[in-house]
Amino acid sequence: MATTVSHTFAPDLSPIAIRNFSKERYVSPEWLERERTDLWATSWLVAGVACDVREAGQFITFDIGAESIIIARGADRLLRAMHNTCTHRGTKLVTEPMGSLRKFVCPYHAWVYGLDGSLESVPGAARFSNGVPREKLGLRPVEVEEALGLIFVRLTPGALSLADFLAPLHEAIGTYRLDLMDVTNDQTVSHLCNWKAIIDNFAELYHVPFLHPIHRRMFDCATAPIALFDHGHTAVYVEGGVTDSGFPTPEVPSDMQAMQLEAFGLDPADYRGLVGAIRPALQRAKRALAGEQGLAYDSFTDAQLTDVWQFNLFPNVILSVTPESAWLMRSRPDVTDPGRSILDMITLVRFHGEESPEAAGSDEADGARIGTHFRLNGPRPADYIRPPRDAFTHEDIIAGRKTMTVTIDEDISLLGRVQQGMASRGFDSVWLSDEECRVQHFHDALDASLGA
């Protein structure tokens, strides 16, 4: 029996005043510097995902502009963050994006720090006539908190608590339990555009039917509800299993809808003239399959079973979530050039239950019991390993040597041209539509952060 749970999440759809702001924020070194001092140094920032620091000794590093932060779980299981900077002569201690160890050892003169940042040993300490006051020379601490399966840091303490910062989104994102997910892909690409051009791109669907035509055949971007929240966060809820209502409704299912139906053992021929019935049919089929496999899908609404919900966390993170998986994208500035940035993309998957030979080999595990080809995620595979970070350039994407999915590749291929055009004397300011109000909302929050 299908269970439908109505969620209590209530987006704020109040109208927003559209402004047409100047291009300086994308191209000027002065803006880059203002963002360094008044945005990155003062905002709550997503430093990584919680599953990478579940165990004692695990650490991640997070670079934002000129700053580098280590986040490590100590032997006491407490999570701490600290500047990735040796207090002797400033050497960057760790260059790996993540790992597991018991001490941090500076490669220059071998000062040793504990996972809690305390200075533990100094070779030749007797030769420091000024002494080695260890209580002063620990790694400089940084504020850190864990929430929603993510690790947040803030370089400068402020009045806004993380709980208050995330309050508008906490319930809606919390349902997806990112804290129970594992990383299955980790990519980072250097790009030739300002970091905000990436955020803008993921804050509007206006471009989707044109740059990503495949989406017309499985999503309805034209009517996707938009939500604007306090602190600069936004959301959009995109119906899946449908066709774009901005275009004529087809008589027969699109190729993408047919693939989705067949994956659940449903015959596309049964939906001739009934394309509008496909989305609820897919929802019923997925809920039935989840019930067959004993998976906890009761906390999800029917809409959440087919749709993609995307949350933009101010200032620089985009989360696209489904019950089975999530994409975390994060745009970071280049410290030297407003026309360059770094886009990180982490894929998270929710494995269900513990690995067992019985579950892994059963009909229930592969969906055969109800005759489908669609697989809900089973237990974490016994040979699962967290993939290493794959770093490359946007040229690798354009040349086809790397991919971040067809859709993201299309975005990346275009955004360099956006930056080129913005730098031109032929362009002064952006001209936004109402449909791009999430872009406006983001920039309003940015201006507030910068006191602009």
How does DSSP assign 122-167, residue by residue?
-TTGGG-TT---TTTSSPPEEEEEEETTEEEEESS--SS-HHHHHH
Nearer Cβ to ligand FES (88/177): 88
Give yes or no for residue 89 binding ligand FES (CB under 6 A): yes
* Stretch near ligand FES under the rule CB under 6 A, chosen from 7-15, 108-116, 209-217, 239-247: 108-116
Give yes or no for residue 172 binding ligand FES (CB under 6 A): no
Give yes or no for residue 380 binding ligand FES (CB under 6 A): no
Nearer Cβ to ligand FES (94/415): 94
Q: Which residues contact 82 (CB under 8 A, 6 or more apart)?
A: 69, 70, 72, 117, 138, 139, 140, 141, 142
Dihedral (CA of 213, 218, 224, 230) sign: negative
Give yes or no for residue 106 binding ligand FES (CB under 6 A): yes
> 91: which strand partners?
none
Query: With contact defined as beta carbons under 8 Å apart, do 38 and 32 qualify?
Result: no
Nearer Cβ to ligand FES (104/165): 104
- Count the residues in the chain: 452
Give yes or no for residue 62 binding ligand FES (CB under 6 A): no
End-to-end CA distance of the chain: 55
Give yes or no for residue 104 binding ligand FES (CB under 6 A): no
Give yes or no for residue 109 binding ligand FES (CB under 6 A): yes
* Stretch near ligand FES under the rule CB under 6 A, chosen from 14-22, 105-113, 203-211, 236-244: 105-113
Token pair of 239 as six digits: 């119906």
Closest CA to 58 of 181, 166, 151, 135: 151
Nearer Cβ to ligand FES (88/380): 88
Nearer Cβ to ligand FES (49/106): 106
Give yes or no for residue 108 binding ligand FES (CB under 6 A): yes
Give yes or no for residue 111 binding ligand FES (CB under 6 A): yes
Distance CA 317, CA 199 (A): 8
Give yes or no for residue 91 binding ligand FES (CB under 6 A): yes
List of residues contacting ligand FES (CB under 6 A): 86, 88-89, 91, 106, 108-109, 111
